[in-house]
Amino acid sequence: MAINPMVYSSKDEVLDVVRTERARFYRVIDDPKNWNVDSRCEGWEVRDLVGHMIDVTEGYLARWDIAQKGEPPPAALGWQVMASELNKGALSFRSLSRDEAIARLKAASDRLMAHFEKLSEDEWNNFMVAHVFSGPTPSFCYPAFQIMDYGVHTWDMHWGLGEKNAKLDERTAGVLLPYMFIIWQYSVDQEAAKGVDITYGIKVDGEWGGQWKITVKDGQFSYESTDDLSGVQAVFHYRHPSDMVLTTYQRVEGGETSGDPAVIDKIRHLFFHI
């Protein structure tokens, strides 16, 4: 992997990825003819992706303020309700005009970026900000959340504009790669995981890639980096880190597979929608 995006020494590059993906997102929304174009997110037009970004960005700012004041945050809602709650939030901004919505997003984003830029090494690791769904979360995760949103949702908009086979930028997807394991870990569908006891491999090509051994047992997902995938029941091989990221977000069904077809099918249906 080119860098470890979770450590402070990677801060400048991680923030550069945030700015790069945000600029790509802005280029789409700044064109008036795109405002009502459907996206890859079912039921969301480009305007709703702007609404979503207002919702999450202002939400991060509010939680940042609570953390700085040392006040107790509201209880985390959990990941199971994430999709429905984010849908409500995104659609709630349809009452704004296009100019109002874009201005509001850009103002909030600039304020949040200022928080990121000021983070010291100690704060990067130890300043905890309570996420609405996850609860207390290290501050270094929040730039990654912005990369997820701006990167994946820009892809969603380009999909709606006709670019069905696009990929995320390799650096963007590479920075997000380690977070995908955390997403998988917390999005195991417990009903689908009943009785499942499997071990499989993940292989990602390129400078950001690597190999990981995954175990799912008793509804629990665990993973470890490895040089040896012999003995696993199946392997998912991603030629580009974008394929793994977009598969995690259930935008595509990527990866070349080998091994037990029944195990592969179980893995494909093991995670709830986030």
Note the pTM of the prediction, 2 decimals.
0.94
Q: Does residue 177 lie within any of the structural domains? A: no
| The pLDDT value given to residue 83 | 92
84: its two tokens: 């429905």
Same domain, 25 and 60: yes
Give the pLDDT mean for 16-25. 98
Q: What is the pLDDT of residues 31-77, one digit of tens each?
A: 999 999 999 999 999 999 999 999 999 999 999 999 999 999 999 99
| The pLDDT value given to residue 108 | 98
121: its two tokens: 């090494």
Compute the mean pLDDT over every residue in the chain, rounded to the nearest whole number. 96
pLDDT at 1 over 80: no
Strand order in the sheet with 210-217: 220-225, 210-217, 197-204, 234-238, 256-259
Q: How far apart are CA 73 and CA 140, in angstroms?
A: 18
Same domain, 100 and 20: yes
What ranges in the chain are assigned the alpha helix state H?
A: 11-29, 46-69, 82-91, 98-118, 121-126, 141-160, 170-186, 241-248, 261-268
**Helix/strand/coil percentages in the chain, nearest 5:** 50, 15, 30
- Is residue 58 within 8 A of residue 93, CB to CB? The reply is no
Same domain, 132 and 233: no
Among 166, 201, 236, which residue terminates a domain? 166
| The pLDDT value given to residue 170 | 97
How many domains is the chain partitioned into structurally? 2
In a 13 Å sphere around the CA of 15, the CA atoms on its Cβ side amount to 19
Among 101, 134, 166, which residue terminates a domain? 166
pLDDT at 172 over 70: yes
Same domain, 237 and 201: yes
pLDDT at 101 over 90: yes
Q: Does residue 42 lie within any of the structural domains? A: yes
Q: What is the pLDDT of residues 187-234, one digit of tens each?
A: 999 999 999 999 999 999 999 999 999 999 999 999 999 999 999 999
Q: What is the pLDDT of residues 120-165, one digit of tens each?
A: 999 999 999 999 999 999 999 999 999 999 999 999 999 999 999 8
Same domain, 221 and 106: no
| Domain region containing 257 | 190-268
Confidence of residue 272 (pLDDT cuts 50, 70, 90): confident
